[in-house]
Amino acid sequence: MMGTIWFWIVGAMLTAYVVLDGFDIGVGALHLLLARTEDEKRLVLRSIGPVWDGNEVWLIAGGGTLYFAFPLVYAASFSGFYLPLMIVLWLLILRGLSIELRGHIGMGVWRAFFDGLFALSSVLLAVFYGAALANVIRGVPLEADSYFFLPLWTNWRVGPSPGILDWYTVTGGVLALIALAVHGAAYLAVKTIGDLQQRARRTISVLWIPLIAITALSLIATMAIRPQTLDNYKAFPIAFLIPAGVIASLIALLLFSRRGNDRRAFTASCVYLALMMIGAAAGLYPALLPSIIDPKDDLTIARSITGHHAQAVGLAWWTFGIALAIMYFVIIYRMFRGKVDLESEGY
């Protein structure tokens, strides 16, 4: 029972990461296209400046919580996804630097370099995150000792010896890139005015059809390569509200954005991403990392949950700690609410 709670806690923290860091990654992926002048570039950076670092903490805290609650899953997945995780780390390093160091030297070459690095690292991070999630859904070739090691690619096919990248996980990567780009555009529309805001809104309109198409494609592909995903949905038909909500939130996103109601459009985008994550978790449950070879090797909650005392104490401090964290986020987002300008302190 408590294992189930921890499953959803880890899921919720990673969902919070995707929704929060998702918009600043999306902003990074788009900013070369949307921000044309130096002032616009600084506005774009200022829109995420005070919050991106805190958003990224959800990844660290989520990873730490996974380590704490499911040590076996943490150990197996982090060593098995060794190469892509290292690449993600390098991208996170380069991206953090490009945001923070750009403003330190007033040279055109310096700034252009970090602008490019910011865009490139954001695009690749989105693709890698999508592919990572798709790898978990597809399953990995777990060995008898519950470890595995995946090369970056093999024959690009979903089979018994897959690579990190195959057609399915690449689809997941492209989906993540488009979804986060739309999410970032929706955020920018909230935070800016004038030309920048118009371009952000137009981006949502342009990317909306591809987004809905690839969302549908990925859902069908998931059912094709891993039919067990539907088991929980069949057992609890109420879960079909999740995909229904995905479609509804996408429609709401477009309608609100067209009417210029940017805050609601951004909310719809948050709901869309959260439901995609929850839907994936619901399909996996009770496995955290399924085996592509034999379902009895799946790393499930029961096999990988930590000891009783840790679970019980953990629930107490986690609840308290996250309540504090949410309070900090409310303070910060309230403090820096509204449209960004070049008058006040910032990048």
Partner 1 sequence: MDALLLHRIHFGFTITFHYIFPQLTMGLALLIVVLKTIAWRRNDEMYNQAARFWAKIFGINFVMGVVTGIPMEFQFGTNWSHFSRVTGGVIGQPLAMEGVFSFFLESAFLGLFLFGEKRLSASAHWASAVMVWLGSWISGFFIIVTDAWMQHPVAYRMGQNGTFEITSFWKLLTNPWALLQYPHNMCATVITGAFVMSAVGAFYLLERRNEEFGRIFLKVGVIAGVISCIVIIFPTGDLHGKYVAKTQPASMAAMEGLFHTEKGAGIVLMGQPNEEKQTLDNPLVVNNVLSFLIYGTTSAEVTGLDKFPKDQWPAPLPLLYYGYHIMAGLGTYFVVVMGLAAFLLWRGKLYTTRWILWPLMLSFPLPYIATTAGWMTAEIGRQPWVVYQLMRTSEGYSHHVSASNALFTLLGFAGLYTVLGILFVVLIYREIAHGPAHMKKFEEGLHTVSGA
CB 243 within 8 A of CB 212: no
DSSP string of 298-323?
A: -EEHHHH---HHHHHHHHHHHHHHHH
Which of 8, 68, 113, 156 touches partner 1 by CB under 8 A?
A: 68
**Nearest CA to 180 among 5, 340, 27, 8?**
27
Q: Which of these ranges, 118-126, 176-184, 190-198, 331-339, lies near partner 1 under the rule CB under 8 A? A: 331-339
Which residue, 100 or 212, is less far from partner 1 as judged by CB?
100
Question: Please, which residues bridge with residue 287 across strands?
Answer: 300
Which of 5, 8, 96, 233 touches partner 1 by CB under 8 A?
A: 96
Q: Which of these ranges, 15-23, 103-111, 191-199, 223-231, lies near partner 1 under the rule CB under 8 A? A: 103-111
Going by their DSSP bridges, the two strands 299-300 and 287-289 should be labelled as antiparallel
* By the rule CB under 8 A, 325 interacts with partner 1: yes
Which residue, 3 or 63, is less far from partner 1 as judged by CB?
63
The 120-159 site mask, x for binding partner 1 (CB under 8 A), equals -----------------------x---xxx----------
* By the rule CB under 8 A, 324 interacts with partner 1: yes
The dihedral of CA 219, 220, 226, 227: what is its sign?
positive
**Nearest CA to 131 among 81, 167, 181, 173?**
173
Which residue, 103 or 243, is less far from partner 1 as judged by CB?
103
Q: Which helix (H) or strand (E) holds 289?
A: strand 287-289
Which residue, 64 or 194, is less far from partner 1 as judged by CB?
64
**Rounded to whole angstroms, what are the CA distances from 282 to 135, 154, 171, 232?**
16, 29, 20, 7
Size of the site for partner 1 (CB under 8 A): 72
Which of 54, 141, 210, 243 touches partner 1 by CB under 8 A?
A: 54
* By the rule CB under 8 A, 51 interacts with partner 1: yes
**How far apart are alpha carbons 32 and 106 in whole angstroms?**
18
Q: Which of these ranges, 99-107, 122-130, 240-248, 287-295, lies near partner 1 under the rule CB under 8 A? A: 99-107
* By the rule CB under 8 A, 79 interacts with partner 1: yes
Which of 33, 86, 220, 224 touches partner 1 by CB under 8 A?
A: 86
* By the rule CB under 8 A, 50 interacts with partner 1: yes
* By the rule CB under 8 A, 8 interacts with partner 1: no
* By the rule CB under 8 A, 322 interacts with partner 1: yes
**How far apart are alpha carbons 251 and 249 in whole angstroms?**
5
* By the rule CB under 8 A, 210 interacts with partner 1: no
**How far apart are alpha carbons 56 and 324 in whole angstroms?**
17
* By the rule CB under 8 A, 44 interacts with partner 1: no
* By the rule CB under 8 A, 105 interacts with partner 1: yes
Site for partner 1 in 164-183 (CB under 8 A): none
Which residue, 272 or 318, is less far from partner 1 as judged by CB?
318
Neighbouring CB atoms inside 10 A of 291's CB total 18
3-state secondary structure of 331: helix
Least separation in angstroms between CB 230 and partner 1: 30
**Rounded to whole angstroms, what are the CA distances from 126 to 92, 117, 175, 207, 225?**
11, 14, 9, 15, 22
CB 214 within 8 A of CB 193: no
The dihedral of CA 324, 326, 328, 330: what is its sign?
negative
* By the rule CB under 8 A, 83 interacts with partner 1: yes
Which residue, 89 or 193, is less far from partner 1 as judged by CB?
89
* By the rule CB under 8 A, 49 interacts with partner 1: yes
* By the rule CB under 8 A, 72 interacts with partner 1: yes
